Amino acid sequence: MGNSFKLDPWGSSALAEEDYTRLIKEFGIEEIDDATRLKMNDNRFIRRKIMFGHRDLQYVFKAIELGQPWAVMSGIKPSGPFHLGTLTTALEIVEFQKMGAKAYYCIADVESWEDNGIPWEEAEDDAIDNLADILALGLDPKNAYIWRQSEEPIVKDVVYRVSRLVTQNMLNAIYGEKTFGLYLSALIQVGDIILPQIQDVPQPTIVPVGIDQDPHIRLTRDLTRRYYKNFFLPGATYHFLLAGIDGSEKMSKRNPNSMFNFNESTESIERKIKGALTGGRKNKEEQQKLGGDPKICMIYKILMYHFEEDDEKLASDYAMCITGKLLCGEHKRDCVQKVLKFIELHQKRKEKLIDKAKELLNID
């Protein structure tokens, strides 16, 4: 990764392990230490080291200790069905809400227009569908504030207030050369991220993201520091990005075999899992002799991230893989069974929440 490398929140830049190490140092991200893991051991993403870094998580712990308010903020771009790549952030929001945060959830329809050319009206069906998904995953709407960027005056007002502090050179340095519309959507996301403190009270706010979204966090922290001087600087947690299940560098809607969405048929999902990249050898004999490599196996990874609840089973699978006792076909069958069971239950829960999603978004 050369000096000219920039994280692209709208692109498909893949990251190697050494890139994460460099970015942590370069951008001042704090690594999650053992003391933090102990405090959040109930959180699967912390316990399994899927979250690797944070900004200002200590202020959340202090708020919890003192019984003071704190928030978790995130959102989704309504450009298609909920899919495997969006599941991590959604579940992190639910985990933080269970810890005591009020959840602030944004439907990023302005960004969807600027990045994907989807008009706000056409994004409504996906917005309803996406919101029903996260409700089905456990988001409690009674302790949440949910908005569409195109309908929320607070986030638009923030753009005007902070834009006098922003220069073209500043945006180029953070994002590289982009269309002005994407720069504008980045400033609207500044409003999204600080909305909890504008609407409510100054409070620690954590934003769960993949490291590719860190440019938005850095921009927001800088503008908050300079304009909203009585606010907490928005914090963040960072998780490792899942590669495409087919072995491609990144999950992408442009590559349907790299991921599956939650509206797909069970036959399609099963086919994609069976075609996933594994860490297996050329044949059964070589696998039993040399063992596999679970570190590159997408079957192991999607189970670790989402579909295997039992830590001991996960550790056993890892050990059996590297010693050649677990074969890829058997592992894929187990994965298919767990994923399809999850999807079946999820779709049943979601179907009952479509009307609630419409109500929350004020869409007839």
Domain with CATH 1.10.240.10 in the chain: 256-351
- Over the stretch 201-223, which tens digit does the pLDDT of each residue have? 999 999 999 988 999 999 999 99
Return d(Cα 324, Cα 287) in angstroms, integer: 5
Token pair, residue 99, equals 């810890």
Token pair, residue 277, equals 């990249």
Would you place residue 81 in the very low, low, confident or very high pLDDT band (cuts 50, 70, 90)?
very high
Token pair, residue 64, equals 């919890």
20-34, 184-198, 206-220, 350-364, range with the lowest pLDDT? 20-34
pLDDT of residue 217: 97
Pairing of strands 144-148, 51-55: unpaired
- Over the stretch 115-127, which tens digit does the pLDDT of each residue have? 999 999 999 999 9
Res. 39: pLDDT tops 70:
yes
CATH number of 256-351: 1.10.240.10
Res. 12: pLDDT tops 80:
no
Residues 72 and 205 sit within 8 Å (Cβ to Cβ): yes
Burial 127-159 (b: 16+ CB within 10 A, else e): bbbbbbbbbbbebebeebbbbbbbebeebeebb
pLDDT of residue 5: 56
Neighbours of 11 (CB within 10 A): 14
Domain with CATH 3.40.50.620 in the chain: 17-241
pLDDT of residue 176: 92
Average confidence score pLDDT of the chain: 92
Res. 34: pLDDT tops 70:
yes
- Over the stretch 273-304, which tens digit does the pLDDT of each residue have? 999 999 888 888 888 888 889 999 999 999 99
Would you place residue 3 in the very low, low, confident or very high pLDDT band (cuts 50, 70, 90)?
very low
Residues 179 and 62 sit within 8 Å (Cβ to Cβ): no
Return d(Cα 220, Cα 189) in angstroms, integer: 8
Percent of the chain at pLDDT > 70 equals 97
Q: Looking at the domain 17-241, which fold is it?
A: Rossmann fold (3.40.50)
